Structure 1
Amino acid sequence: MSTQSPAPPPAHGSEAPSAWVRRWSHLVPAHGTVLDVACGLGRHMRWFAQHGHPVVGVDRSPQAIEAVAPLGQALLVDIEGGPWPLAGRRFEGVVVTNYLWRPLLPVIAASVAPGGVLLYETFAAGNETVGKPARPDFLLRPGELLQACQGLRVVAYEDGFLEAPARFVQRIAAVREGPAGEPPARHRL
C-alpha cells in the first residue's frame, strides 16, 4: 500500500493554457500584442510569446509579476482598487480567464483593437453547486458575457457545465471589426 500523498494542484497560473484560449488563439493577428488581464503566473502570456506575440500582463501579485517579467511587459497593479493602467491602449488580443471584476468589463472590451480579438473564459452561475467560486460577485449571470461584448462580433460563445474539473463557465471569442470601408477580417474557424 502506497503512503504517497497525492500531488498538489499546480499553482494558479502555472497550469496548461486554457483549451478555449488555445482553440481561438489563431484569431489574434500575427505578431499582434496580447494583453493578459489578471495574468497570474503567465500561462497565457507564455503561450502567446511562444507563438511570436509581444505580451503584456497585469496582476496585483508581486510573485506573479516577477514570474512573468521575462516574457514581456509586466504591470504590478491592483486593477480593482485603482485606475486602469492601460488607459487608451488597444491590443490585438485580450485574454481573461478565471477572473471577473464587473466594473472592468467595458474597459476590457474597449481594449480590443480593430481587427483584434477578446478571449474570455470565467465561472458562471451554477458553479456554486459544484465548488468555488460560489459567491455571485464572482459568477457571470446568464448572458452577461454576451452583453459585455456588445460592439464586438461574436465568433464563438458557450455557457454551460464542463467536467474535469466540474465547473460552470461562460466563454467567448469576439472580434472588433476593422475601420469602416475595410473588408471584413477573415477569421478561420
Structure 2
Amino acid sequence: MQSSSSSPTSVPFIPTGFDRRDQPSLWVTRHSEMIRPGGRVLDLACGRGRHTRWLTRRGFQLTAVDADTQAIAELAGLRNVDALCADLESGGWPLPGQRFDAVVITNYLYRPLMRHVAHALDAGGLVIYETFMQGNERFGRPRSPEYLLAPGELLEWSVSEGLELVAFEEGETSIPRPAVVQRLCARRPSRH
C-alpha cells in the first residue's frame, strides 16, 4: 500500500470493508474529524446511507443523493437529512450552485461528475473519497475499467482542481475481503 500525506506523520493504511452494510468506512471516520463542526456534508451515491447515518449522529447536516429510491425513502425520514433521489449518470449534476463543507464518496466512480464534486466544496471544504482501482478485477466487482481508478488518478484529479492534499493511499487490502482501492482526502483552500 502506498500512501502520502501533507503531514510528516502519515497514518498507516487501515483496511476497510466494502461489504459492511452498516459500519462506516474507517477512512471516512478518520478524516471526518476535520469537517467544520455542524457543517453541511454531501454523501454522494450514498446507497443505504451508512455514512449519512453515522455523520448525522455526529451533528452534521447531510444531503444524501442516490438513484436507489428505496434507500433514499428510508433516509428521507431522518433528522438533519435532505435525501434526494437522482440518477447521477444520466441526469446531470443534481445540486447546481450548492456548496458543502465536505463531500463523501465511497465505492462509486463516474468520472464526468468529478469536476462538479470539486466545485461543490466551500472554501476549506474536504473531499473524502474511497473507491476501487485497477487491479481489483482479479478479486471481483467492479471489473470494468470504467469503474476502476488508474494508479494515482484521484491524486492527479485533486491537483488539477487546485485542492490541497491531506492524505492519499492506494493498493491492495485483504480485510474484510481482498480488493484494490484508492483513497483521498483533500481540502479546497480557504479564502484569504
State whether TM-score is above 0.5.
yes
Shift of 1:14: 3.1
Q: Tell me how far apart the structure 2 counterparts of residues 112 and 166 of structure 1 sit (CA, whole Å).
A: 32
User: Which of residues 90, 93, 117 in structure 2 aligns to 1:84?
Assistant: 93
Tell me the residue number matched to 2:166.
Answer: 155
Tell me the residue number matched to 2:102.
Answer: 93
Tell me the residue number matched to 1:179.
Answer: 191
Give aligned-pair identity as a percent. Answer: 46
Tell me the residue number matched to 1:110.
Answer: 119
Q: Tell me how far apart the structure 1 counterparts of residues 182 and 72 of structure 2 sit (CA, whole Å).
A: 27
User: Which of residues 128, 137, 144 in structure 1 aligns to 2:146?
Assistant: 137
User: Which of residues 51, 54, 63 in structure 2 aligns to 1:47?
Assistant: 54
For residues 5-39 of structure 1, give each alpha carbon's deviation from its aligned partner in whole angstroms, at most 9, with x where no partner exists: xxxxxxx7833000100111101110101100001
3-state DSSP class of the match of 2:166? strand
Tell me the residue number matched to 2:16.
Answer: none
Quick one: higher RCO (CA 8 Å, sep 6+), 1 or 2?
Answer: 2
Larger radius of gyration: 1
Q: Tell me how far apart the structure 2 counterparts of residues 83 and 130 of structure 1 sit (CA, whole Å).
A: 31
Gaps of 5+ in 2: 1-18
Q: Tell me how far apart the structure 2 counterparts of residues 130 and 65 of structure 1 sit (CA, whole Å).
A: 29
Q: Tell me how far apart the structure 1 counterparts of residues 77 and 122 of structure 2 sit (CA, whole Å).
A: 25
Q: Is the 8 A contact 1:109 1:148 kept in 2?
A: no
Structure 1's consecutive aligned runs of 4 or more residues displaced over 6 angstroms after TM superposition are none
Tell me the residue number matched to 1:7.
Answer: none
Question: Quick one: which amino acid aligns to residue 88 of structure 1?
Answer: G
Gaps of 5+ in 1: 1-11, 181-189
Tell me the residue number matched to 1:32.
Answer: 39
For residues 71-113 of structure 1, give each alpha carbon's deviation from its aligned partner in whole angstroms, at most 9, with x where no partner exists: 3101111010012110111100100000000101111111111
RMSD over equivalenced CA pairs, Å? 1.4
Which TM-score applies when normalising by structure 2?
A: 0.85
The number of aligned residues is 170
For residues 125-168 of structure 1, give each alpha carbon's deviation from its aligned partner in whole angstroms, at most 9, with x where no partner exists: 00011111111111001111112212111110001111121110
